[in-house]
Amino acid sequence: MEVKEVEKVKESGIFGTLSQLGHEQVVFCHDEATGLKAIIAIHNTVLGPALGGTRMWNYSSEQEALTDVLRLSRGMTFKAAISGINLGGGKAVIIGDAKTMKTEAFLRRFGKFVNSLNGKYITAEDVNMKTIDMEYINMETKHVTGLPESMGGGGDPSPVTAYGVYMGMKATAKKVYGSDSLTGKRVAVQGVGQVGMHLVEYLVKEKAEVSITDLFEDKVKAIAKQFGVKAVGQDEIYDIDSDIYAPCALGATVNDETISRLKCSIIAGAANNQLKDEVRHGYMLMDKSITYAPDFLINAGGLINVYNEFLGNYNRNRVFEQAEKIYTTCLNILNLAENEKISSQEAAIKLSEKRIADIGRVRMTR
Ligand code: NAD
């Protein structure tokens, strides 16, 4: 084979993608008997074992599943690194209908695949996986976190995630307004689920003026009544006069269409992958003088929670203390972005990569 052809092989296909994104290992799991098809992606294990949840989704193609698991596992690497915890990034996806395909054997077979990696990948709950599913997986492998308190786990991570988001929001307010007080600030919370609802509680306590929306009108009405906040329509959330937009529902809500509509000066929320295009939309926000608190930093409370469970001797107070540090890290990132004239997303990735490189070198020394 000519040299040129060898180069072509090197750059194309799956290995080209892995080298571009920096993955270490991808495992395709298949079991004919149970119908299990899963992909486990290990992005980076320099700081520690790769931790990330298992998501089950009826992907329209295998390529779509692969793209999702590669993107999500890379995000976990940055999230752990920026949070100062000693974990790497990983993720697993199971392809199929979560309503009909999950059986005890199916889940235990997946558990066996996780176990075959000997702790290099640690799993947890994600979209369409329930506590009972994790219990079955746990029967075949001890490399599972995020278990309920009744099984010795750390329990619901959402209050910790909400606290981290609140800390990140306050730090961003400090940067933008010169004070971290949210009193009187108009905050638009999109999605009042597990995290959004706890966030609303913090904001109301601090006397912010909160508007909320959700897919479910009854839920919005009930929460608006409970906390004395304003209910707005699902699409209206992008147009209202607000100081802070807090996406706590879906990813990719910060995009070409919404950036032109948003009137806020800060975006700080819990959703993963808020920027549809992490490069272009990061810079579009800068042009519009909207300060963005990087999602993977400020929503890391849940990961901090499972990390403490993984370490053992779980202590809820210590978990909240660690989540509080998101405030300082967020300010550092916003300052770095300002000094280097780069987007806050880019600054956060830069700091994550620096920690991985620095600690990687430390680990090489004898
Ligand atoms: P959740 O499912 O409990 O809540 C999400 C809420 O958003 C639901 O009430 C849903 O009805 C609503 N929603 C969905 N689409 C919407 C839309 N188009 N407009 C308005 N509302 C909509 O989820 P959660 O655990 O609260 O997590 C919220 C977000 O934060 C998710 O993106 C999740 O991936 C991310 N996150 C959560 C955690 C955690 O600890 N739970 C940790 C990190 C990141």
Judge if 209 and 259 occupy the same domain.
Answer: yes
CATH number at residue 192: 3.40.50.720
Give strand ranges (E) for the chain. Answer: 25-31, 36-44, 50-51, 54-57, 88-95, 121-122, 186-190, 209-213, 230-231, 244-247, 266-267, 291-292
- The CA 3 to ligand 1 mean position distance, Å, reads 50
pLDDT for 145-157, tens place per residue? 988 888 888 888 9
pTM for the model stands at: 0.92
Closest-lying ligand 1 atom to the alpha carbon of residue 302 = 40
**Is 305 among the domain residues?**
no
**Is 361 among the domain residues?**
no
- The CA 133 to ligand 1 mean position distance, Å, reads 20
Cβ of 146 less than 6 Å from ligand 1? no
- Residue where one domain finishes, among candidates 112, 144, 176: 144
- Residue where one domain finishes, among candidates 144, 166, 188: 144
Cβ of 345 less than 6 Å from ligand 1? no
Ranges of residues in the chain with a pLDDT under 50 are 1-4, 6, 9
Judge if 224 and 337 occupy the same domain.
Answer: yes
**Is 363 among the domain residues?**
no
**What domain count does the chain have?**
2
- The CA 2 to ligand 1 mean position distance, Å, reads 52
Judge if 103 and 207 occupy the same domain.
Answer: no
Judge if 268 and 174 occupy the same domain.
Answer: yes
How much of the chain exceeds pLDDT 70, in percent?
97
CATH number at residue 100: 3.40.50.10860
Spell 319-343 as b/e; 16+ CB within 10 A means b. Answer: bbebbeebbebbbbbbebbeeeebb
Q: Give residue 13's domain range.
A: 3-76+87-144
Cβ of 213 less than 6 Å from ligand 1? yes
Judge if 221 and 342 occupy the same domain.
Answer: yes
Judge if 126 and 275 occupy the same domain.
Answer: no
What pLDDT, on a 0 to 100 scale, did the predictor assign at position 149?
A: 85
Nearest CA to ligand 1 atom 12: 191
What pLDDT, on a 0 to 100 scale, did the predictor assign at position 11?
A: 62
What pLDDT, on a 0 to 100 scale, did the predictor assign at position 10?
A: 56
